[in-house]
């Protein structure tokens, strides 16, 4: 039976998964890499780390599975969004460390651009509802202003997963889903917006060729196949941005279907045939990997990352205990959290460690524990973190409900869906039924595998996705819990606005002192 390799190139690491041609995942392997924070608002990774993780995870996957490499006929990839990987004309990587999607260094460049170009017009064209500084075009402006010598050498700027495809095939290209996060993509026209590119002062040639998400980039280079332990006959399919691949893998590839991704960043998204746009809430929209559809979402930028930060900074003994006992340290943490009551004894956590979103009063919003008292325990701190992430997502859900129909059930995918205890918190705070399927953390990888399967003719269509999900649990909200959380939610929203004001005050003080913005 033919096999498919799918890579989920995420913020925290790369996961390689091996699928049979009927869509069954038979093995997976994860390799982590670091994110670096050299200045406030700067979030960087090294493309060479991505490549090394892809190679290492693939070789380990083949070795562990025992599969004959000749059975692997194609591959697809999902990649974290808004990448700005600068490539010289000779194919060399120009920036060893590159800003990732959550990097906000280009605030001044975005602000300056919108002095002469209406921001709402830009948003309604592009659907780019993150903080504008996150998007590729504004990061390019930052390079042009701050590192002009590097900027002058740029031949093409490509995304995260596009860099992996380039290393595998030598071809520089992207797909519509990834291009839609460039800051210069016209959603309605499904192509680059030449007027926007001109207004930003870029050459049109700096942006890569666009082919379908199911398009074949090329055949893997012989030397790369040897390095990765693959057959030289593997066909490399373009794949897509993580939001869209995950939507496909989570069954959100038809009108009105909703899912909740609980990864490093966490979001709630709906699939529609028209982009969901709103000037006030500013949902961010990606072109779907499924032709004719869009994935529109609102997010907490540091969802799983906030919980991971808590683990790294305050839960190192959980890491040690997990290693000693062979258990997941996050399971140990959630077991502690269960000892704390609803509301964590009055301790409130805002998870905005990565900054605010356009739906907030200010990008300068930063996370905080509020109401901390000598009575509070580690159990309270962990539970408040879990509740805070969930309340942040509840605010996203409430905003989406105002502008598009949302059903009374939502499918959870990603690492945050593993905990039964946390699933109940989601149901109680969301006030709707949450579903868990057996696909779980494989949604993005399954979406990438599906692109490869359709692109190489192994599948006739994406409809097979529905057959691959088995609903394992339906978690319904508990009425008495809902009542308590509704009261806490009011406090959460008030605290968020207060933290926005505080962030603006601190940012102004820092600028007056000549500090880093």
pLDDT in tens, 170-193: 999 999 999 999 999 999 999 999
Residue matched to tokens 């109680």:
428
At residue 515 the predicted structure's pLDDT band, cuts being 50, 70 and 90, is low
How far apart CA 9 and CA 7 sit, in angstroms, is: 6
Residue matched to tokens 């030598």:
170
The predicted structure's pLDDT at residue 440: 86
Task: State yes or no: pLDDT of 514 exceeds 90.
Answer: no
Cβ-based neighbours of 373, under 8 Å, separated by 6 or more:
345, 346, 347
Q: What dihedral do alpha carbons 459, 462, 466, 467 form, nearest 10°?
A: -10
Q: By CB neighbour count within 10 A (0-12 exposed, 13-18 middle, 19+ buried), where does 149 fall?
A: exposed
Mean pLDDT over residues 136-157, rounded? 98
Return the structure tokens found at 36.
């670096």
Residue in 9, 14, 2, 25 with CA at minimum distance from that of residue 437: 25
Chain centre to alpha carbon of residue 325: 31
How far apart CA 247 and CA 129 sit, in angstroms, is: 18
Q: By CB neighbour count within 10 A (0-12 exposed, 13-18 middle, 19+ buried), where does 253 fall?
A: buried
* Helical pair 443-455 and 242-249, crossing angle rounded to 10 deg: 90
How far apart CA 433 and CA 371 sit, in angstroms, is: 30
The residue with greater pLDDT, 425 or 358, is 425
Q: What is the DSSP string of 319-344?
A: HHHHHHHTS-HHHHHHHHHTTSPTTG
How far apart CA 187 and CA 297 sit, in angstroms, is: 15
Cβ-based neighbours of 49, under 8 Å, separated by 6 or more:
33, 34
Average pLDDT value for the chain: 95
pLDDT in tens, 77-100: 999 999 999 999 999 999 999 999
Task: State yes or no: pLDDT of 294 exceeds 80.
Answer: yes
The predicted structure's pLDDT at residue 122: 98
Task: State yes or no: pLDDT of 517 exceeds 50.
Answer: no
How far apart CA 51 and CA 96 sit, in angstroms, is: 12
How far apart CA 331 and CA 349 sit, in angstroms, is: 20
CB count within 10 Å of CB 410 equals 24
Task: State yes or no: pLDDT of 69 exceeds 60.
Answer: yes
pTM attached to this predicted model:
0.89
- What are the C-alpha distances in Å from 96 to residues 41, 47, 92, 125, 165? 18, 7, 10, 32, 17
pLDDT in tens, 327-351: 999 999 999 999 999 999 999 999 9
Pairing mode, if any, of strands 72-79 and 3-9? Answer: parallel
How far apart CA 444 and CA 280 sit, in angstroms, is: 29
Task: State yes or no: pLDDT of 280 exceeds 80.
Answer: yes
How far apart CA 505 and CA 508 sit, in angstroms, is: 5
The residue with greater pLDDT, 473 or 363, is 473
Q: Is 296 within 8 Å of 284 (Cβ atoms)?
A: yes
């Amino acid at each position: 039976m033919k096999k498919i390799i799918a890579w989920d190139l995420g913020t925290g690491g790369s996961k390689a998964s091996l699928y049979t041609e009927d869509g069954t995942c038979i093995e997976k392997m994860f390799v982590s890499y670091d994110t670096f924070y050299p200045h406030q608002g700067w979030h960087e990774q090294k493309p060479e780390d991505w490549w090394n993780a892809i190679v290492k995870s693939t070789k380990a996957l083949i070795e562990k599975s025992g599969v004959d490499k000749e059975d692997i006929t194609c591959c697809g990839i999902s990649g974290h969004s808004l990448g700005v990987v600068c490539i010289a004309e000779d194919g060399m990587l120009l920036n060893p460390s590159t800003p990732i999607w959550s990097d906000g260094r280009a605030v001044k460049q975005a602000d300056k651009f919108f002095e002469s170009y209406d921001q709402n017009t830009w948003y309604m064209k592009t659907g780019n509802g993150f903080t504008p500084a996150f998007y590729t075009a504004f990061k390019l402006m930052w390079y042009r202003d701050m590192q002009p010598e590097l900027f002058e050498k740029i031949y093409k700027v490509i995304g995260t997963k596009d860099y992996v495809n380039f290393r595998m095939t030598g071809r520089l290209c992207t797909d519509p889903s990834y291009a839609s996060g460039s800051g210069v993509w016209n959603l309605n026209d499904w192509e680059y917006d030449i007027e926007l590119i001109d207004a930003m002062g870029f050459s049109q040639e700096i942006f890569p060729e666009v082919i379908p998400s199911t398009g074949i980039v090329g055949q893997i280079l012989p030397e790369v196949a040897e390095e990765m332990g693959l057959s030289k006959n593997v066909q490399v399919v373009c794949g897509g941005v993580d939001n869209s691949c995950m939507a496909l893998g989570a069954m959100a590839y038809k009108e009105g279907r909703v899912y909740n991704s609980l990864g490093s960043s966490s979001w709630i998204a709906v699939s529609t045939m028209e982009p969901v746009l709103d000037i006030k809430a500013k949902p961010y929209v990606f072109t779907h990997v499924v032709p004719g559809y869009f994935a529109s979402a609102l997010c907490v930028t540091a969802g799983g990352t906030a919980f991971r930060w808590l683990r790294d900074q305050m839960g190192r003994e959980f890491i040690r205990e997990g290693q000693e006992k062979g258990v997941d340290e996050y399971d140990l943490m959630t077991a502690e959290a269960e000892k704390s009551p609803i509301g964590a004894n009055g301790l409130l956590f805002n998870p905005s460690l990565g900054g605010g979103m356009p739906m907030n009063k200010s990008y300068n919003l930063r996370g905080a524990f509020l109401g901390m008292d000598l009575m509070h325990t580690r159990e309270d701190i962990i539970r408040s973190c879990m509740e805070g992430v969930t309340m942040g997502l509840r605010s996203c859900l409430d905003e989406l409900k105002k502008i598009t129909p949302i059903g009374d059930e939502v499918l959870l995918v990603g690492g945050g869906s593993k905990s039964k205890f946390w699933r109940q918190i989601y149901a109680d705070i969301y006030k709707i039924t949450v579903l868990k399927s057996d696909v779980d953390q494989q949604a993005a990888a399954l979406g990438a595998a599906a692109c490869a399967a359709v692109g190489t003719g192994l599948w006739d269509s994406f409809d097979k996705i529905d057959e691959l999900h088995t609903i394992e649990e339906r978690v319904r909200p508990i009425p008495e819990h809902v009542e308590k959380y509704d009261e806490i939610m009011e406090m959460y929203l008030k605290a968020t606005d207060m933290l926005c004001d505080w962030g603006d005050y601190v940012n102004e003080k820092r600028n007056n002192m000549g500090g880093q913005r």
